[in-house]
């Protein structure tokens, strides 16, 4: 456990670097959800309230007093927060009909008012034992004894150590697998989500056509890959979860590899497995093309 309480601070009172408006929105249960809104949000405030309501309804069905959201894709879906540094500890504590608290790495915290609507943050420092910070935040929120807490037992980011820490330090709570809550919530897409996915699909179409046109005898996989990446980024694409897998000639048999200085011959194969991402919503295409005249076999 921590020697002293970790500060849970208000983003609006702590931030001078970015602009936003502090407001609140009514939820389905009548709770007024505090939010920070700005034009950098991937979706409208109403869309995030919809997600909050969906998750709260699922929590009510499971009889949960709180939910710990640990998967980075789930954190982004729920709050809007995003970072390529998801490999460090992040967690959203979602109380029943209450204001969520984002536990975020100190180095990354400014990404919250840049991308997210959430108003409360607790910092996790690199020298911390992160699950102990979560224990402390739960205690401060009145969730340390006699509560039913949902956790993402089936997620890659909820570790054995984290579970053992919660059970040891807050033994009066019950911890139940609630992995399916975010999975099910994300399954049915809203109109706003579908529109973003269509943007990603249009981007990947453009990138695939550009790569196809660049694939000619004498071109290397690296050169074709450069054109694909240029097309994606120039047209509004963002960093992908995986790089474009673009292979030429004899290297097309390699799984999940990319690039290479080897060049295409007059009669040769070119392999593309590429994706485009917008607001972390991705569309992907896979194609194998033949340069020249295919052999009968």
**In the chain, domain spans:** 8-187, 191-291
Question: Which CATH code for domain 191-291?
Answer: 3.90.230.10
CA distance 49 to 94: 13
Quick one: 8-187 is in which CATH superfamily? Creatinase/prolidase N-terminal domain (3.40.350.10)
Strands (E), the chain: 8-10, 21-26, 32-37, 66-69, 91-95, 101-105, 120-124, 148-151, 174-177, 245-248, 268-278, 281-291
Q: What is the pLDDT of residues 133-185, one digit of tens each?
A: 999 999 999 999 999 999 999 999 999 999 999 999 999 999 999 999 999 99
CA 28 vs CA 52, 74, 138, 285: distances in Å: 9, 21, 24, 39
pLDDT at 106: 93
Encoding tokens for residue 43?
A: 């979706």
- Three-state SS at 83: coil
* Domains 8-187 and 191-291 agree in fold: no
Q: What is the pTM of this model?
A: 0.91
Whether 228 shows a pLDDT value over 90: the answer reads: yes
């Amino acid at each position: 456990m921590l020697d002293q309480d970790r500060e849970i601070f208000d983003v609006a009172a702590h931030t001078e670097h970015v602009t936003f408006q502090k407001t609140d929105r009514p939820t389905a249960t009548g709770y007024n959800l505090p939010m920070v809104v700005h034009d950098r949000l991937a979706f409208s405030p109403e869309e995030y309230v919809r997600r909050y309501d969906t998750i709260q309804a699922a929590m009510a069905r499971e009889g949960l007093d709180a939910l710990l959201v640990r998967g980075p894709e789930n954190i982004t879906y729920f709050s809007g927060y995003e970072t390529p540094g998801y490999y460090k500890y992040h967690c959203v504590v979602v109380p029943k009909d209450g204001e969520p608290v984002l536990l975020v790495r100190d180095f990354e915290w400014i990404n919250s008012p840049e991308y997210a609507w959430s108003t409360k943050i607790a910092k996790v420092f690199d020298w911390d034992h992160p699950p102990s910070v979560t224990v402390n935040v739960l205690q401060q929120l009145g969730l340390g004894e006699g509560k039913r807490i949902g956790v993402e037992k089936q997620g890659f980011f909820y570790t054995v150590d984290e579970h053992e820490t919660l059970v040891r330090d807050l033994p009066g709570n019950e911890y139940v697998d609630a992995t399916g809550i975010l999975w099910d919530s994300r399954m049915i897409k809203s109109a706003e989500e579908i529109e973003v996915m269509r943007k990603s699909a249009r981007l990947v179409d453009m990138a695939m056509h550009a790569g196809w046109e660049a694939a000619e005898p004498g071109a290397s996989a690296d050169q074709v890959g450069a054109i694909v990446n240029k097309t994606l980024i120039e047209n509004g694409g963002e960093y992908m979860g995986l790089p474009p897998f673009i292979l030429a000639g004899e290297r097309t048999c390699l799984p999940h590899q990319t690039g290479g200085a080897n060049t295409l011959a007059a009669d040769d194969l070119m392999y593309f497995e590429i994706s485009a991402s917008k607001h972390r919503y991705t569309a992907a295409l896979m194609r194998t093309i033949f340069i020249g005249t295919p052999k009968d076999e």
